[in-house]
Chain A
């Protein structure tokens, strides 16, 4: 005789009463800081009704190093290595955002070649960030590392490029106020062109592996839908915003650096679910490749540092500035107040991952616990940036 819930003498699940409500307790789970799928030391206090999420409160601060106070006690140049460690996947774009803000404050102008090198470095960073993210998202879905390791295989080629250019794979510390630290080593451009030429073939393989996979489709479509109005009101930026259909890419709006010379499209999503965020990132990678190949073709010879820039004893005039760029995760901004001394008076980082987490609760309500992990994966957080 097969035991059915009605026939069993043990109460296996809460009884559904006549008016439709469920008799039972809500379960509060702490998806704690040590968890393989939470992208770092991140905790969520989730209140569950069975498997469905009723309430979700994110708790972070486990990696808080008070980077802003360190910035107030260090010189402008000394803060540059610390910016590498904010979003540790994308250290070159962090460097560029900080250098942009200080250049706006002090009125420095980087030369042509430096601007091209910055664009190349930023687009390479965007490529390796997006494929890592897709790899980690699939890892969270249970793909046991296969897409992740394929992504890392390509990421290694890009990190080798970074190492021969800056000396370090991740903590690059490469941009300076008024340009870049050192020039491209001989043979770097050929190596970079080779990487950029092989990348589309890898993306085709990657998409063949993933984009029509039924498991991926059924787990991501319709999950974690973010509406346009909520996305704009909640200050969401980056691929998450564009997956909800809002056309706001700071490279097109602010036209910082020399981005107005490159023609690239901005991919937009329709539904704002996890699948759209995944597809927007894949399409953004293809657009990044276009910018990268154009920049590698057109890069001129010349200086790489503004002759007016000073390394030591750099004292910008008093004033304040807010400089922002389109980092791979969203809008990364630096707000600096200077009082004429070598150290900033106020040094503030506008972290995209931190602000994109505002609506995590709204996205997860009503979904299963397994979906919470996937939605968190699609928000693309790095705790170094969330906690600073």
Chain B
């Protein structure tokens, strides 16, 4: 498969107005991913599926990831002049990054037997705008997996044919896989309590 920068250039040429960024990956694997903007995501997905040299017709894994509001610390070495001597000191800049939900797509090609290409779609924020376009019209295999991302994370996929809860029951209120999910208070007797369960035990059995 072609290198990621080339794919990015071709996407931007084929779908005008699409802004695609490359997201780095610091792990040993090093596989980078493409972050797409929401309005053009469907057009880009169609291009990726139908382009003759890519033919990414197999959406292997569709999942959601929850990123909370975080403070990212960046350490940089800055040259500063102190008392006439130029020295290099480490400067820490803090940046507040607002939280969002992310849908990650792993794409492979069954025809050309290459891959993977990782796509990311981000929602605006976690509270009132968790919307992302659905790629089910392009890859039917994303149907159940997007339903699961809706069920467990609360990401609303616009354009999904049948967006309902799939693993939890329909009347369930919250989103279990979010990082700030609070479990219901259904304590049962626990003979070997540890950590959080120990706190719950102390609350229920003060003796």
Contact = CB atoms under 8 A, between A and B. Distances in A.
Determine direct contact between A and B, CB below 8 Å: yes
Interface of A: 60-61, 64, 66, 68-69, 104-107, 230, 232-237, 246, 248, 253, 316-322, 324, 331, 333, 335, 337-338, 346, 348, 350, 354-355, 357-359, 387
A260 to B, nearest CB: 14
A322 B116 contact: yes
B166 A234 contact: no
Interface in B102-119: 104, 106, 110-111, 113, 116, 118
B27 A319 contact: yes
Given A318-B27, A358-B140, A233 B57 contact: yes
Contacts, number: 109
Contact of A61 (B57, B141, B167): B167
A321 B27 contact: yes
A337 B65 contact: yes
Nearest to A233: B140
Given A235-B140, A235-B141, A322 B167 contact: no
B140 A230 contact: yes
Contacts of B139: 233, 235
Contacts of A233: 57, 139-141
Contacts of A320: 25, 27, 29, 31
B155 interface: no
Contact of B169 (A61, A107, A335): A61
Interface residues of B, number: 38
A253 B60 CA distance: 14
B32 to A, nearest CB: 10
A317 B29 contact: no
Given A64-B168, A320-B27, A235 B142 contact: yes
B176 interface: yes
B19 interface: no
B65 A333 contact: no
Interface string B105-144: 0100011010010100000000000000000000111111
Contact of B113 (A105, A253, A331): A253
A69 B176 contact: yes
A108 B51 CA distance: 36
Contacts of B168: 61, 64
B182 interface: no
Nearest to B176: A66
28 contacts: A60-B167, A61-B167, A68-B177, A105-B27, A105-B28, A230-B140, A232-B110, A233-B140, A235-B59, A235-B140, A316-B27, A317-B26, A319-B25, A319-B27, A319-B28, A319-B30, A321-B27, A321-B31, A322-B31, A322-B106, A324-B60, A331-B60, A335-B63, A338-B27, A346-B63, A348-B61, A350-B60, A350-B61
A358 B57 contact: no
Given A233-B140, A234-B141, A359-B140, 14 more contacts: A61-B165, A61-B167, A61-B169, A66-B152, A248-B110, A319-B26, A319-B28, A321-B27, A321-B31, A333-B60, A335-B61, A346-B65, A350-B63, A357-B144
Contacts of B143: 234, 358
B177 A69 contact: yes
Contacts of A354: 144-145, 148
B28 A106 contact: yes
B58 interface: yes
A61 B166 CA distance: 7
Contacts of A253: 113
Contacts of B142: 235
B4 to A, nearest CB: 15
Q: Which 10 interchain pairs have the tightest Cβ spacing?
A: A319-B27, A235-B141, A107-B28, A61-B167, A350-B61, A234-B140, A64-B167, A319-B26, A233-B140, A321-B29
Nearest to B144: A358
B24 to A, nearest CB: 9
A85 B157 CA distance: 30
Contacts of A350: 60-61, 63, 106
A105 B57 contact: no
Nearest to B179: A72
Interface string B138-179: 011111110010001000000000000111110000001100
Contacts of A357: 144
A64 B27 CA distance: 30
Nearest to A253: B113
A331 to B, nearest CB: 6
Interface string B164-205: 011111000000110000000000000000000000000000
B61 to A, nearest CB: 4
B114 to A, nearest CB: 9
A104 B144 CA distance: 27
A321 B168 CA distance: 27
Nearest to A66: B176
Contact of A104 (B29, B65, B145, B176): B29
Nearest to B111: A232
Contacts of B26: 317-319
A317 B27 contact: yes
